[in-house]
Amino acid sequence: MPAPDPAVSLRGAGRRYGERAALRDVTLDLPPGQTLVVFGPNGAGKTTLLRMLATLLRPHAGEVRVLGRSLPDDGYSVRGRIGFLGHEALLYRELSGRENLRFHARLHAVADPAARVQAVLEAVGMDARADDPVAELSRGMLQRLAVARAVLHEPELLLLDEPLANLDPAAIAQVAPLIGTGSGLTRVITSHDPVGGLVGADLVLGLKGARTQLLAPASEVGSEQITALYA
């Protein structure tokens, strides 16, 4: 049986910021259901890569294909199938968690939004505080709501920028079924943790200075190689 189309496919992908390259010549294939973990120091291009895959940034060079569609031209058709968790929670501070999620559910045309929002709130353990304004919540709670927002529309591909930041071990355990290996979804994750980040990884990409320093299956990569990126 032929291999299925990769969920994420990059060929010489690049992105400029002004005169500088934010990302240069990245080439990789990620089969569906697998996890790509991206390591690298700050400014190496991890967030740029993630945002490009999320259709938030247009590629300036090379080819980018996500879920079988070419970006940026077919970006419209894949947006609803991608879940993005960035550095910001993307929630309106004056509204409650429930109202924010309701809004996103409507934007994504989720069927039966009220029920789905309730289900997701319970899944991340935020049901009790769902009606408080987001401004009153702690960072950990905010992160949990952000996770809820990212998976609300049942995406096929998860793009997670340091997803476990601000979460205590209990919270990490709680969101694991949604965004962890147990979810069965294709995932692209950025991480700074040379040991913990490798857990659950199938493919590892190390970026430095916007270029690919390391690209290998996770089984062949050790923590020392990751740490070397930051040297």
Partner 1 sequence: MLTTAFALVFFYAPTDADQGIIQKIFYVHVPMAIVALCGFVAGGIFGIMHLRTRDQRWDMRSYVTIHLSIILAVGVLVTGSIWARISWGHWWVWNEPMLVVFLIVFLLYATYQPLRFSIEDREKQARYASVFAITAGAFVPLCFGAVRMAQNLTHPQAGTMTTHGPGSVTLTFLCSLTGMTLLFVTLCKYEMASKNATSKLRSLRRRLAGEDDFIPTGGRSAAPQI
Partner 2 sequence: MRRTVAALLAKELALELRTGESVPAMVLFSITTYVIFHFGLNRNVIDGDLAAGVLWVTLLFAAILGINRLFVAEYEQGGFDGFLLAPVDRTALFVAKAITLFCFLCIVEVVAVPAFGILLLGPSLGQALPALLVVLLAANAGIAVVGTLVAAMAIQTRARDLMVPLLVLPLLVPVVLGASHATSPLLGQGGAGALPGDWMALLALYDLLFALIAYAVFDFLLED
Tokens of 211: 């270029």
From 12-20, 40-48, 175-183, 193-201, give the range in contact with partner 1 by CB under 8 A: 12-20
Residue 180 CA to residue 166 CA, distance in Å, equals 16
Kindly state the smallest distance separating residue 171's Cβ from partner 2, in Å.
21
Site for partner 1 in 194-223 (CB under 8 A): 209-211
Kindly state the smallest distance separating residue 224's Cβ from partner 2, in Å.
36
Kindly state the smallest distance separating residue 72's Cβ from partner 1, in Å.
10
Kindly state the smallest distance separating residue 18's Cβ from partner 1, in Å.
6
- Point out which residues bind partner 2 (CB under 8 A): 54-58, 76-77, 79-80, 82, 84, 86, 88-95, 99, 103-104, 106-109, 133, 149
Kindly state the smallest distance separating residue 231's Cβ from partner 1, in Å.
19
Question: What's the burial of 82, exposed, middle or buried (CB within 10 Å: 0-12/13-18/19+)?
Answer: buried
17 binds, among partner 2, partner 1, none (CB under 5 to 8 A by kind): partner 1
The answer to the question of residue 44 lying near partner 1 (CB under 8 A) is no
The answer to the question of residue 20 lying near partner 1 (CB under 8 A) is yes
The answer to the question of residue 24 lying near partner 1 (CB under 8 A) is yes
Residues 144-177, buried b or exposed e (16+ Cβ, 10 A)? Answer: bbbbbbbbbbebbbbbbbbbbebbeeebeebbee
What three-state secondary structure class fits 52? helix
Separation in Å, CA 219 to CA 7, 38, 202, 204: 20, 15, 7, 9
Element (H, E) at 187: strand 186-190
32 binds, among partner 1, partner 2, none (CB under 5 to 8 A by kind): none
14, 23 contact by CB (below 8 A) = yes
Separation in Å, CA 63 to CA 68, 69, 217: 12, 11, 22
69 binds, among partner 2, partner 1, none (CB under 5 to 8 A by kind): none
Instruction: Write out the residues near partner 1 by the rule CB under 8 A.
Output: 16-21, 24, 209-211
